[in-house]
């Protein structure tokens, strides 16, 4: 078994162990050189991205002729930076940061809708007097990073109820999971824009949470795989093979009979996350729901154009981008979905 790890200090990459473990290649593959690609994620959670780690651990990538290295950075901004600098071929940014990057002239394209449902929610302690987003006026709201996808998500919610950042509320970057729990306990923040994994960690730390996210916002999709257009145009076959392995791994992971193998693979990707098997199992169940689209008949990875319109409108209204993009359809593509899903149930 070969293990590949690469850490890029200039981008602030955080350590993720057992990043790419490959099994013996299938018959006939020994003589073929594998195509090497680096996939960069906005956080080190392996369970959040269990199809990626299943595809590594089960050898699905290698069967597609790919050698995949996974790296984790701190938020979508650094994901986009890594791709733009050519230090990663595929990344997993959020939709709002992608729109902001395109507004800056970076030709990044969303290719695969990984989190078909929102991975974020605005949460408060169970005993908080805050009952709805409008009650957050005059408070400080915790976020993982200053430029993470959760910021745009929460800003849109608060804009809808007439609150303005810097005037009616403030964001405070407090980190993820345990760090966010500490911020709650110290009273630094009244609410937190939590990813599924963050909420699970805080609950595990004994903080009972209550979600106040409006129902409409729970349907906003989250982070997905993206690449620079120049890479896509020159490496279409690689994109097809990558997505095909991800779809196969997704189907594998959703089979209850494979749960233990999935958690073995995610623990190899992030041993610390897998130490508490009860927590890991609970998080895995939550993530399975978030990656399952409302309409599975469209195929894994499909991006509903109307959902991109919602994100686009939100980005303009919240100031994430100063004006509408001239061609929103250039920000995403569904051209590979059919090839990825051939043979999938």
Domain boundaries, the chain: 2-117+222-341, 120-219
DSSP letters for 117-152: S--EEEEEETT-S--SGGGGTTEEEEESSTTSHHHH
Fold of 2-117+222-341: D-Maltodextrin-Binding Protein; domain 2 (3.40.190)
Question: Going by C-beta distance under 8 Å and a sequence separation of 6 or more, which residues neighbour residue 39?
Answer: 52, 68, 69, 70, 71, 88, 89, 90, 91, 92, 225
**φ/ψ bin of 166: left (φ > 0), alpha (ψ from -120 to 50), beta (otherwise):** left
The Cα-based distances of 238 to 232, 297, 334, 343 in angstroms read 8, 24, 15, 18
* E strand residue ranges, the chain: 2-3, 21-22, 35-41, 66-72, 90-91, 108-112, 120-125, 139-143, 169-173, 191-195, 209-211, 225-228
Q: What is the mean pLDDT of the chain?
A: 88
CATH of 120-219, one of 3.40.710.10, 3.30.70.1560, 3.40.50.300, 3.40.190.10: 3.40.190.10
pLDDT tens-digit readout, 77-132:
999 999 999 999 999 999 999 999 999 999 999 999 999 988 888 999 999 999 99
The pTM for the full model equals 0.76
Neighbours of 115 (CB within 10 A): 25
Q: What is the pLDDT of residue 215?
A: 78
**Which pair of structure tokens corresponds to residue 193?**
């824009």
pLDDT band, residue 317 (cuts 50/70/90): confident
Domain 120-219 in the same topology as domain 2-117+222-341: yes
Token readout for 63 is 């069967």
- pLDDT tens for 153-204 read 899 899 999 999 999 999 999 998 788 889 999 999 999 998 887 887 887 7
Return the exposure string of 2-39: e unless at least 16 CB atoms fall within 10 Å of the residue's CB, then b: eebeeebeebebeebebbbbbeeeeeeeeeeeebebbb
Instruction: List C-alpha distances in Å: 49 to 56, 69, 139, 249.
Output: 11, 14, 32, 10
pLDDT digits (tens, 9 = 90+) for 16-72: 433 443 333 444 444 479 999 999 999 999 999 999 999 999 999 999 999 999 999
Here the tokens at position 237 are 């076959």
Q: Please give the C-alpha separations between residue 29 and each of 1, 33, 62, in angstroms, as whole numbers.
A: 15, 8, 9
């Amino acid at each position: 078994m070969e293990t590949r790890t690469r850490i890029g200090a200039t981008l602030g990459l955080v350590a993720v162990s057992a990043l790419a473990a490959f099994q013996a290649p299938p018959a006939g593959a020994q003589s073929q050189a594998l195509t090497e690609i680096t996939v960069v994620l906005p956080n080190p959670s392996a369970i959040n991205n269990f199809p990626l780690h299943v595809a590594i651990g089960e050898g699905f990538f290698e069967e597609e002729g790919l050698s995949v290295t996974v790296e984790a950075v701190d938020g979508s901004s650094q994901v986009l930076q890594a791709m733009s600098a050519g230090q990663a071929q595929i990344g997993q940014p959020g939709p709002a940061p992608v729109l902001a990057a395109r507004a800056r002239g970076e030709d990044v394209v969303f290719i695969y809708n990984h989190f078909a449902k929102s991975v974020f929610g605005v949460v408060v302690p169970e005993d908080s007097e805050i009952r709805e987003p409008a009650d957050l006026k005059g408070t400080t709201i915790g976020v993982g990073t200053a430029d993470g996808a959760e910021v745009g998500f929460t800003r849109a919610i608060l804009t809808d109820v007439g609150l303005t950042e810097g005037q009616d509320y403030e964001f405070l970057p407090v980190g993820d999971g345990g760090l966010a729990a500490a911020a709650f306990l110290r009273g630094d923040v009244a609410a937190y824009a939590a990813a599924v994994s963050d909420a699970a960690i805080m609950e595990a730390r004994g903080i009972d949470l209550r979600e106040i996210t409006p129902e409409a916002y729970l349907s906003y999709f989250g982070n997905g795989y993206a690449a620079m257009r120049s890479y896509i145009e020159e490496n279409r076959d690689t994109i097809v093979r990558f997505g095909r392995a991800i779809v196969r791994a997704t189907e594998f992971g959703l089979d209850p009979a494979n749960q233990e193998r999935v958690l073995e693979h995610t623990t190899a990707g992030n041993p610390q996350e897998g130490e508490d098997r009860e927590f890991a199992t609970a998080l895995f169940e939550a993530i399975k729901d978030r990656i399952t689209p409302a309409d599975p008949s469209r195929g894994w990875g499909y991006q509903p154009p109307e959902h991109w319109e919602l994100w686009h409108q939100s980005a303009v209204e919240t100031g994430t981008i100063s004006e509408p993009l001239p061609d929103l359809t250039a920000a995403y593509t569904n051209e590979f979905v059919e090839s990825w899903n051939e043979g999938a149930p």
